[in-house]
Structure 1
Amino acid sequence: MSKEQEKGDLGHDRDLQPAAYDGNAVSGQQGQGNSDPVRLANTALSYITHTLVAGLTAYLLYVSFRTYQLFSWHPACVTIGSLTLMAEAIMAMSRGNVLTAGLRRPTRVRAHWVLQLLAAGFVLCGFVVEVVVKRTSDRPHFASPHSVLGLVYVVLVVASNCGGLAANYSARLRDHVRLAAVKLAHFLLGAATFALGVCALVTGLYTRFFSVSAGREAQLACTVLLVVVALLVLQSAARSVYSLCRSLLRV
């Protein structure tokens, strides 16, 4: 075997190591010539995303408790779980995230699953509040598009966390499945779960509770901002998916 072939094989092996699954690994390798502009753009987007998440969370919590009732805990818990914690969990895996940029990958992975577990807990609490309120007021369950979407979302939250557990221990299954395939499935399921959670939040903006507590302008503004946040958060996951697809397609 020639030296060139040996180097090629070694490079291919390194590409399949877990470190290559970082969402910014590929972009960092491809953009070494213009790393400073790319780094500045990623930092700016990270600051913007965190600011929008914090601002939207604060406003939606204000609207939720503007007129306090038991039901107020439903939008409050779902907002914290679906928007704040889940968005931060996804962004924690990105090296471009200003809050976790100085952390090593194992620490970022730990932060990711801790935030995801907290997010799932808040979402489930919000779901329980909704069920209790409907039952005590003798109102039908899952009778609106928002409630049906919310039910599907809760199922995906549970499935996504189970998938995260499988991805976390996928190294022990390397003799049976490809690590990249397990991680890709987890990323795709997590991204779909987050996107569906944002859709549930958007439909919740047009329920009677939010319409009474806020107004038409607030509904439209929050809808636009939620879509922008979803796109900004998911773009970091898209880089990870691209990296994993490259690993899977290599022979």
Structure 2
Amino acid sequence: MSVAVCFCMTEAILTFSKDSSPFFCCTVPAKVRLHWVMQVLATIFGSIGLVSIVSSKNISESPHLTSWHSVLGIGTAIAVGGQLLCGLCLLFPKLINTYSVARLRLYHATCGLLAYLMAMATVMLGLCSDWFTSQVNTVVWYLCIITLLIPALVIMNQVNSGYLSKKKIEV
């Protein structure tokens, strides 16, 4: 489930990239819809994973929220939910009385980057669990970490250059 969440979130954010997206020739409204669909899929997959974990813990009568992975996972789920609400406000700006859609877009991009990094950190903490480290050897573990770090760096660069540059903050 976490692979699907990571893939969907990464691709959803990269739809706006001029350099890294296979959808660079699409119109902006098409990219917005694709971003929205991919983020909804990531949220659905994450919710299914969360429900599975909670039900598994309940069945085995294990305590909840006993690791940093689980605590950060709950924080990530809350952050993603907030981002979905903010994204809905951007999809339908007439529903809210905002003086600047551009400023809301900037906040959405900044908080979205934070939520994305929280999701990647949650998965990385899961890779540090005793169960996962006993299942894979050291080389595979490092490959998994690198597989998460490289897209995170690309996305941080994309959001920084696209939304957080000094020229755009003056909006």
Give the TM-score of the pair, scaled to structure 1.
0.64
Contact 1:180/1:247 (<8 A) preserved: no
Letter in 2 for 1:239: S
Higher relative contact order (CA 8 A, sep 6+): 1
Say which SS state the counterpart of residue 103 (structure 1) adopts.
coil
State whether structure 2 residue 153 is matched by structure 1 residue 231. Answer: yes
State whether structure 2 residue 170 is matched by structure 1 residue 249. Answer: yes
**Alignment match of 1:162 (pick from 69, 73, 85):** 85
Contact 1:85/1:118 (<8 A) preserved: yes
Q: Which residue of 1 aligns with 2:122?
A: 200
- What is the correspondence of 1:64-83 to structure 2 with a 5 Å cutoff? 77-81=1-5, 83=6
Q: Which residue of 2 aligns with 1:221?
A: 143
State which structure, 1 or 2, has the greater radius of gyration over its C-alpha atoms: 1
Measured in 2, the distance between the counterparts of 1:85 and 1:139 equals: 30
Letter in 2 for 1:188: T
Deviations 1:16-65 (A, max 9, x none): xxxxxxxxxxxxxxxxxxxxxxxxxxxxxxxxxxxxxxxxxxxxxxxxxx
RMSD of the alignment, in Å? 1.8
Give the TM-score of the pair, scaled to structure 2.
0.91
For structure 1, the residue ranges without an aligned partner over 5 or more in a row are 1-76
- What is the correspondence of 1:162-201 to structure 2 with a 5 Å cutoff? 162-170=85-93, 172=94, 176-201=98-123
Contact 2:89/2:95 (<8 A) preserved: no
Q: Which residue of 2 aligns with 1:138?
A: 61
Residue 226 (structure 1) shift = 1.3
Contact 2:90/2:104 (<8 A) preserved: yes
Residue 174 (structure 1) shift = 8.7
Letter in 1 for 2:130: R
Deviations 1:77-111 (A, max 9, x none): 12211x10000000001222341011111111110
Deviations 1:210-244 (A, max 9, x none): 1222123322232233112210122212222135x
Contact 1:134/1:140 (<8 A) preserved: yes
